[in-house]
Amino acid sequence: MTQARIVLRDAALERGEQLLTVTRLGSLTELINVMFSRYGRHLEETWEVQPISPTYSRPEPLPEIGQQAAPIREESNFQFDEPLTGL
């Protein structure tokens, strides 16, 4: 088995210890192995976001203001000092 030594920042070490509790793995070495085997491909594929293909489509035209107008409501006689009812 090949061996390597890694150095973790304090925050990463704390997070690793939390993950050991959750996963019930025996050591940080096992945790790192699980992370690499389960999530390594995902990290590799998503590290840099690449567009699939350039898009040259034109934006949809904005609707005309007359077509978007909402119906006018009658004004309410609500007063903020009135108690709320009907809830």
pLDDT surpasses 60 at 68:
no
The mean predicted confidence, pLDDT, of the chain is: 81
pLDDT surpasses 70 at 66:
no
Backbone angles phi, psi at 78, to 5 degrees: -65, 135
Q: Whole-angstrom Cα distance, residue 44 to residue 77?
A: 60
What local confidence, expressed as pLDDT, does residue 2 receive?
84
Q: Whole-angstrom Cα distance, residue 40 to residue 18?
A: 20
Predicted confidence band of residue 47 (pLDDT cuts 50, 70, 90): confident
Cβ atoms within 10 A of the Cβ of 35, count? 14
Q: Where are the domains of the chain?
A: 10-46
Q: How do residues 3-41 score in pLDDT, each as one tens digit?
A: 889 899 999 999 999 999 999 999 999 999 999 999 999
